[in-house]
Amino acid sequence: MSRLRRRHFLQLAGASLGAIGLNQLDFMQRGDRMHRALAQNTSRKLALLIGINGYIERPLAGCANDVRLQYELLVHRYGFNPQDILIVTDELSASGLDLPAREIITTPTRQTIVDAFRDHLIDQAKSDDVAIFHYSGHGSYVEDPQPLDYEESEYLQISGYSNFQGLVGTLVPVDTKETDSADTVNDILGSTIFLLSKLVPTENFTTILDSCHAGGGVRGNLVYRAIDREAGQARNPSQVELNLQADLMEELLLKDSTELKELREAGIARGVAMGSARANQLAAEKQHAGFKAGIFTYLLTRYLWQVGQTESLESMFVDLARITRAVDEGDPQDPVYFIQPGTTLDQQPPYLMTPDHPFAEDGRAHV
């Protein structure tokens, strides 16, 4: 991605937002109405940012740029220490634009991602910290070892999940096909992310997924972040993945898979989860002012650069839905969010914290 001055970056944001009747003043006024008490006093802010482009099947071009967009937002808007950000991507350092960070890991395999999650988020976070997990890359689905009953779960309140019965969404690492059988994949199951998230010791935890759970392909200017499974035929998870889940369940003192199923049907494990599209939709990346990025990550980070003080997660997603529809060039893509059961985190600020620095701050941004 070429270097852009932050002023130019925000001007680009304002152009697309203004097209649907939203502007920077609107955001400032909304933020001013939110009470300052929403701010979280935290001792540390941790982020794990993952972006995978180099797939053998259907390579992508915008996922490393998603990582850059999030990195710049977190460091220059939210005051993250670069040494508290861990990056896993196969392109960032090779692009000639290294970012100061705790580490940049350039082998986004299944084991690398799992290890990074445990090492950086589970083992380091404390109860009053903020933690963020961002994934940009291909998504897919497999047969769910503990299938949810969507007719009984809260998920049916958002359309598009009932036809996902019997399946579970996955994150696709670069070694997805390195298994002993053609019928299995080396993906990271959504239920594994659930278990890992439940081990994160802070409730100030946000998951952002910019990937698909079904379908795939290229249409016009859009590249969809999904791996086809031979005309929609779901594969099975690898034995390594199932063994990991058994270990995590033991660590969480879960009695059996039935207890895990009940917890998943109740809602997400921890904090807030944001998704780029519903389960039956495709998430796309496209060209944005000279570089490619995920539509969701691009609009989300530009939006958060624009807000004056802060607003609620619920309010932000109302606007994001409108913005996404305004720039839509292909299949519908409706961003969604979920909150931890029994909480009112949708009334908290996005990322569960207020920005450290003013909106539209001038200066240079490495984006």
DSSP for residue 349? P
Helix orientation angle between 6-18 and 313-327, rounded to the nearest 10 degrees: 80
Q: Cα–Cα distances in Å, from 210 out to 78, 136, 307? A: 20, 5, 21
Q: Do 190 and 168 meet the contact criterion of CB atoms below 8 Å apart?
A: yes
Cβ of 342: how many Cβ atoms within 10 Å?
8
Whole-angstrom Cα Rg for the chain: 19
DSSP 112-162: HHHHHIIIIIITT--TT-EEEEEEES-EEEEE-SS---TTTSGGGGSTT-G
* Backbone torsion region of residue 297, taken as left when φ is above 0, otherwise alpha when ψ lies between -120 and 50, otherwise beta: alpha
Alpha carbon 207 to chain centroid, angstroms: 5
Per-residue pLDDT of the chain (367 residues; tens, 9 = 90+): 444 444 444 444 444 334 334 444 343 344 333 333 334 454 799 999 999 999 988 899 999 999 999 999 999 999 999 999 999 999 876 555 578 999 999 999 999 999 999 999 999 999 999 999 999 999 988 899 888 877 666 665 666 666 677 888 899 999 999 988 888 999 999 999 999 999 999 999 999 999 986 333 333 456 778 776 554 566 899 999 999 999 999 999 998 899 999 999 888 999 999 999 887 777 888 887 778 899 999 999 999 998 766 689 999 999 998 988 877 666 778 888 999 999 999 999 999 999 888 765 433 343 3
Which residue type occupies 251? E
In what helix (H) or strand (E) does residue 48 lie, and over which residues does it extend? strand 45-51
DSSP for residue 281? S
Burial class of residue 183 in the structure, from the number of CB atoms within 10 Å of its CB (0-12 exposed, 13-18 middle, 19+ buried): exposed
Fold of the CATH domain 4-359: Rossmann fold (3.40.50)
**What residue ranges do the domains of the chain occupy?**
4-359
* Backbone torsion region of residue 166, taken as left when φ is above 0, otherwise alpha when ψ lies between -120 and 50, otherwise beta: left
Please give the span between the terminal C-alpha atoms of the chain, in angstroms, as a whole number. 6
How many Å apart are CA 193 and CA 109, to the nearest integer? 15
How many Å apart are CA 88 and CA 111, to the nearest integer? 12
Q: Do 344 and 38 meet the contact criterion of CB atoms below 8 Å apart?
A: no
**pTM score, whole prediction:** 0.84
How many Å apart are CA 41 and CA 126, to the nearest integer? 13
Alpha carbon 193 to chain centroid, angstroms: 12
